[in-house]
Amino acid sequence: MPYDVKTEQNPDRLKVPALSKSINVLRFLNASPKLSASLTEISAALEITKSHCFNILRTFEAEGWVRLDPESRRYHLSARLLTDVSRLLAKPARAESIHDELVRLSIKTRLPCVLTRIEPDGSFIAVDKAEDAAELIVSVPIGHRFPPDAPAQMRVRLAWAMISERKRTLAAWKPVAYTSTTIIDRDQLIREIEITRVRGYAVSRAEYSHGVTTLAVPIFGSKGQIALVLQCPGLETDIPLREREVAEPLMEAAELIGTLIDEQM
């Protein structure tokens, strides 16, 4: 199951192996002479298979964080990484303000709150969360990747997407029944997307994980595009009984976080 009911707070259990390996690759390059190393050197030093290591490096290269010297076949950290990190470090107070808002939302709704970023491939990465007042925590670790068709997030993204993008996504959509209640009928999904836009938030009724109902809302960037999705997962026996009680502060928090992100961009 993608979601885990609260378990022991063991740091190693909270790690995402693929993400840990990726971070180790960056650290290795940063500690290497001239900030560079070959695929073989990285693979051997970190005990990562060459194929996995290559995929990590290729991803960083696509994101502009690493560059490959075609002649020496050595990987170098790029200036883009420094730029991205510098922007992050230049706004620590803003990041703290966003997290504080997640904490307030968690306390107000008595639910965990998860902030996810929309990736270029349409998937959703958990970038922050708060679980301060949840009685029974239903959560994911930071770095968890939701697939592009995760019901709540997908409906948020498509509800406020350009019509052309929505049509293109739905044309390529291959239904996956994550649970017995997952909507897999195209017409029914389109109706749910339209309802999401009118209502202001998406609802996944135990469609991604058994027993877990999720409310999700968009957070818009400076150019009006959806940059993040904020969601509150909870037990399907609880959320339907107080949907508006959760939805209203959820939408308010999304609007506030949107202003903080807009100032940062």
- Residue 64 structural domain: 12-86
**What is the band of 83 on the pLDDT scale with cuts at 50, 70, 90?**
low
Instruction: Decide if 75 contacts 42 (C-beta within 8 A).
Output: yes
| 54 and 132 housed in the same domain | no
| 65 and 140 housed in the same domain | no
Tokens of 247: 């939805």
Whether the pLDDT of residue 192 is over 90: the answer is yes
Q: Tell me whether residue 2 is in a domain.
A: no
Q: What is the mean pLDDT of residues 160-184?
A: 94
Instruction: Decide if 144 contacts 127 (C-beta within 8 A).
Output: no
**What is the band of 4 on the pLDDT scale with cuts at 50, 70, 90?**
very low
pLDDT confidence of residue 98? 87
Name the domain boundary from 57, 86, 115: 86
Q: What is the mean pLDDT of residues 234-258?
A: 92
Q: What is the mean pLDDT of residues 172-190?
A: 95
Name the domain boundary from 65, 86, 107: 86
Alpha helices by DSSP H, listed for 47-91, are 50-63, 79-90
What's the pTM?
A: 0.64
**Residue 214: left (phi > 0), alpha (psi -120 to 50), or beta?**
beta
Whether the pLDDT of residue 188 is over 80: the answer is yes
pLDDT tens-digit readout, 114-162 = 999 998 889 999 999 988 765 656 677 888 899 999 999 999 999 999 9
